[in-house]
């Protein structure tokens, strides 16, 4: 019997990369979005399992790759913030010029 994959602590959001462009996206109520503020938050096992099913479905439809759950803290503004640096960095966009492009539009203070 195979062991179940390790799941991060809850609450968690689903992060992935788009299949064609490789852009970082998050699973939201209406589909995949580059805005982490719109990410669905799993606060229990059922929610985490639902997000994992969305990851598998997105992969099967060639929408996303490398989808995985990320544990988050919920900010005072209600926005989920990844607890680990790697994923936090992904929410901020490219680091070369954070004042340009989509990362400037989504920038959180």
| Pairwise CA distance, residues 69 & 52, whole Å | 8
Q: What global pTM score does this model have?
A: 0.84
Q: What is the mean pLDDT of each run of 10 residues along the chain (109 residues)?
A: 72 96 94 94 97 97 97 94 89 70 62
Residue 22's domain comprises 12-106
pLDDT in tens, 46-75: 999 999 999 999 999 999 999 999 999 999
Determine contact, residues 13/40, Cβ cutoff 8 Å. Answer: yes
Secondary structure of residue 32 in the 3-state scheme: strand
In a domain, 51, yes or no: yes
Tell me how many domains the chain contains.
1
Residue 40 lies inside a defined structural domain of this protein: yes
pLDDT at 99: 74
* Domain-embedded: residue 61: yes
Residue 7: inside a domain, yes or no? Answer: no
Domain contains 71: yes
Domain assignment present for 1: no
Instruction: Flag whether 6 is in a domain.
Output: no
**Residue whose tokens read 């996303």:** 64
């Amino acid at each position: 019997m195979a062991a179940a994959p390790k799941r991060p602590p809850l609450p968690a959001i689903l992060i992935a990369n788009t299949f064609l462009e490789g852009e970082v996206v998050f699973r939201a109520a209406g589909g995949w979005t580059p805005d982490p503020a719109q990410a669905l938050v799993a606060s229990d096992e059922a929610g985490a399992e639902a997000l994992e099913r969305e990851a598998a479905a997105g992969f099967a439809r060639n929408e996303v790759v490398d989808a995985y759950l990320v544990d988050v803290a919920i900010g005072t503004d209600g926005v989920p913030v990844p607890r680990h640096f790697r994923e936090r960095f992904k929410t901020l966009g490219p680091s070369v010029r954070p004042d340009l492009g989509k990362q400037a539009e989504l920038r959180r203070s």
